[in-house]
Structure 1
C-alpha cells in the first residue's frame, strides 16, 4: 500500500483572489469552503479524491518570507509554452527571479501573492 497526494494546502492572504487565479490557471472550480475561510478548488466534476490533487487556499495573516521550500509546476495542455506563458501573465502571474540562468526550458512565475510556480515546456494531455 502507498499514499498519494490528495490535496495541496497553500497559506494565502486573500483566498478569494487566489482561488479565482488558480481556477483560471488550472481549469479548476471551487469544490468547498470551510468556516475558517479556506477555499478548496479542484477539477470540475471530480473534486477531492480524483486523480489530480485539489488545492486548498487557507487564509493566513503571516506574510510570505522568501522563496518557498515547495512550489507547483504546471504544464500546458492545449497550447505551446509561449502561448500559455502569455495567458498566465494576462491572468496576473508575474515573472520571478529565483536565480535561474535564462537557459532553462521552464519559466519561473509568481501568483498574485508572490507564490512561485514554474511553467514547464512539455505539453501534457488534459486529464
Structure 2
C-alpha cells in the first residue's frame, strides 16, 4: 500500500476570497466550510473519502515570508497559454517575480494573497468525470 495526497493546505488571511479565486481558476466548487472559517474546495461531486486532490484554504494570521517552497503548476484545458493568462489576470492573478529570466516558457503568477503559481504552456485535456 501507499499513501495518496488528498489535501493541499494553503494558510491564508481570507479563505473565502482564495476559495473563490481557486474555484474559478480550477473549476472547483466549495465542498466544506468549517467552524474555524477554513474552506475546502475540489471537483464537483467529490465526497470526503474520495482520493482526489482537494485544496483547504486555512485561516492564518501569519504573514507570508518570501518565495513559497511549494507551488502549483497549472495548464489550460480549452485555450492557449496567452488566452489563459488573460483569463487568470481577469480573475485576480498578477505577475510574480521569483528570479525568473524572462526566457521561460511559463508565467509565474500570484493569487490574491501573493501565493505563487505557474501557468505552463501546454493545453491538457480536462479530467473526465
TM-score bracket for this pair, using the shorter chain length: over 0.9
> Does residue 57 in structure 1 map to residue 57 in structure 2?
yes
Coordinate RMSD, CA, aligned: 1.2
Query: In structure 2, what is the equivalent of residue 124 of structure 1?
Result: 124
Cα deviation, residue 46, structure 1 = 2.0
Count of residues paired in the alignment: 127
TM-score between both structures, scaled by the size of structure 1:
0.95
Cα deviation, residue 52, structure 1 = 3.6
TM-score between both structures, scaled by the size of structure 2:
0.94
How far apart are the structure 2 equivalents of 1:47 and 1:68? 29
Please identify which structure carries the higher strand content: 2
Cα deviation, residue 84, structure 1 = 0.3
5+ residue gaps, structure 2, are: none
> Does residue 84 in structure 1 map to residue 79 in structure 2?
no
Cα deviation, residue 48, structure 1 = 4.2
How far apart are the structure 1 equivalents of 2:2 and 2:64? 32
Cα deviation, residue 13, structure 1 = 0.3
5+ residue gaps, structure 1, are: none
Distance 1:77 1:62, change over 3 A: same
Query: In structure 1, what is the equivalent of residue 103 of structure 2?
Result: 103
